[in-house]
Structures are given as C-alpha cells and as structure tokens.
Amino acid sequence: MASTTETKQKKMLILKSADNDEFEIEESVGVQSETIKNLVEDGFTFVPLPNVYTKALIKIIDYLKKHANKTDSNDEEIKTFDKDFVNTTFDDLFELVSAANYLHISCLMNMLCQTIADRIKDKSPEAVRKIFHINCDYTPEEEAKIRKANAQAFEGQFDESLD
C-alpha cells in the first residue's frame, strides 16, 4: 500500500495521525522532519505518529509542502505563509510546537517558539498563567517577595489580554 508503482521517481509516504487519519505525502516533503527521515532510512513507508493529532498534522503537512518548494524567488511567498501559519490561538500554537518537537522539524520549532515568546513578552504574569494553563503555586507572601526582588521588571504597564 505504500509507494505507488506508476510514479517511480516520486516516492510516497503514509503518515498516520494519533486519531487514525492517514495522509499520503511525498517522501521528499516528509524527510524535512528528522523523525520521519530516520524511519524512511530504516525502510519504512508507513509512519504512525501517535503523538500528533490530525488537526496539527494537516497544518504541518502544509508547512512541509510549502517549505519543500523553497526557491530563491518565492522567499516573500513563504514569509507570508509563515506569518499566516502562526496567526492562531495559543492552544493551537502549543499543539503545533509539541508536534514540531516530536517530529524534529527545527526551523518550525524555532519559528513557533519565537512567535510564542514574542507574543507573551509584554504580558502580565497573571495573563501568562492563564495562557499556559498554570495555577499559581505561590502563597501571596512568596509572590510578593519574588516581585520585590525583581522590582525592575515590573516597571510599566502589562498586556492583560489572552490572545
């Protein structure tokens, strides 16, 4: 079921998501992921990805296809694509960053981590807790102490929004 016979030069792979959806992609597109590359080198053409859900996988396949066709002339086009790609909710970005990490796609990892960092930079600690789904485990006294010790970082206004 793996590689089709009529296209000899274009080797194909099947990726299977955690929710059991299958996607056929060209091998040359898939091997931008180190994880997939290693499996392909071991002779696999069917790649189960138990840690990547369909929603994220669809986006990541889009990304891989776009970046596989990188040339000197479509630099701007790819930039626009990347910009759209990261223009989503924090929860989606977290899904994507987990998937990119599992798949070992370093350029995508870097872009996603930088995007998240840039978006939380000016936020308040309270907003960041909500965004990352973290409960504050400091007592009010402990928190006040930390704030005092880092007083310079609390100068100015913070962004309280969650997007």
Partner 1 sequence: MEDEGCDRHPKRSKPTNHCQFPSTSMQESTSTIPILPEELISEILSRLPVKPLLKFRCVSKSWLSLISSTEFVNTHLSLSANKKEYTHHMLILDSNYMLRHCNLRSLFREASIRSIDTDYPTKSNGSDKMWPDFDRIIGSVNGLICLSTENDHLFMWNPSIRKYTKLPDPKPRLRKVYWRQYGFGYDEFHDDYKIVGIFFFDEYGTTNKDEIKIYSLKSDSWRSVDPCPIEDLSIDSGKFVKGKLHWLTKTPGYNFCKGGDIISLDLADEKWGKVEQPCYGEGDIELWAGVLGSDLSVFCECDGIHVDGWVMKEYGVKESWTKIFTVKYPDMAYSDLKYPMFFMSNKGEVVIVFGSTSVIYNLKNGSLRLSKVIDVVGCHEVEIYVESLVCPFSTKGIEDAAKTKGEKAQIKTIE
Please say whether the beta carbons of 116 and 105 come within 8 A.
Answer: no
Q: How far is the CB of 113 from partner 1 (least distance, A)?
A: 5
Q: Using CB atoms within 10 A of its CB, is residue 26 exposed (0-12), middle (13-18) or buried (19+)?
A: middle
Applying CB under 8 A, does 129 fall inside the site for partner 1?
yes
Applying CB under 8 A, does 104 fall inside the site for partner 1?
yes
Query: Residue 1 or 117: which CB sits closer to partner 1?
Result: 117
Q: How far is the CB of 124 from partner 1 (least distance, A)?
A: 8
Instruction: Please report, as residue ranges, which positions from 22 to 51 form the binding site for partner 1 (by CB under 8 A).
Output: 35, 51
- Across-strand partners of 22? 16
Q: How far is the CB of 60 from partner 1 (least distance, A)?
A: 12
Contacts 24+ apart (CB under 8 A), 82-86: 82/111, 85/59, 85/111, 86/111, 86/112, 86/115
Please say whether the beta carbons of 103 and 39 come within 8 A.
Answer: no
Count of residues interacting with partner 1 (CB under 8 A) = 45
Q: Using CB atoms within 10 A of its CB, is residue 13 exposed (0-12), middle (13-18) or buried (19+)?
A: buried
Picking from 43, 14, 44, the residue whose alpha carbon sits closest to that of residue 29 is 14
**Binding-site member from 6, 76, 121, 141 for partner 1 (CB under 8 A):** 121
Region of 4-12, 59-67, 71-79, 91-99 interacting with partner 1 (CB under 8 A): 91-99
Binding site for partner 1 (CB under 8 A): 35, 51-53, 55-56, 91, 94-95, 97-99, 101-102, 104, 109, 113-114, 116-117, 120-122, 125, 128-130, 132-138, 143, 146-147, 149-154, 158, 162
